[in-house]
A = this chain, B = another copy of it.
Amino acid sequence: MSMDAVFKALADPMRRRLLDSLHKRNGQTLNELCEGRDMTRQAVTKHLGILEGANLIATQKRGREKLHYLNPVPIHNIADRWIGKYERTRLRALTNLKKQLEG
């Protein structure tokens, strides 16, 4: 699974808002996810496609509706494999930074 796709997907504020919306209420349809957004349905579809491509959401058809479910695994992986590296050395890096900028 490509970490790059996840980072790219998270780069757009609208896509993060869509994730937030699913975080509040999971399993929303496309139309529900479009409500209140200043954007056409087709544009939202594209964003959801990118999120799905990054495996951040999974979809399921129910009749003529399409349901969207949040998949937190890629976010967890980024936190674990990438951010963790910076977290572990955070205090040391901060100390170095201050030292260099002062000295």
Q: Which residues of A contact B (CB under 8 A)?
A: 4, 7-8, 10-11, 13, 16, 19, 23, 26-27, 58, 60, 67, 69-73, 75-76, 78-79, 82-83, 85-87, 89-90, 93-94, 96-97, 100-101
**Most chain B CB within a 10 A radius of its CB, from A13, A73, A100:** A100
Interface class of chain A by DSSP: helix
Number of copies: 2
- Name A76's contact: one of B11, B23, B87 (CB within 8 Å): B87
Q: Chain B nearest CB: distance from A14 CB in Å? A: 11
Query: How far does the alpha carbon of A78 sit from the alpha carbon of B23 in the complex, in Å?
Result: 17
Contact A90 B67 (CB under 8 A): no
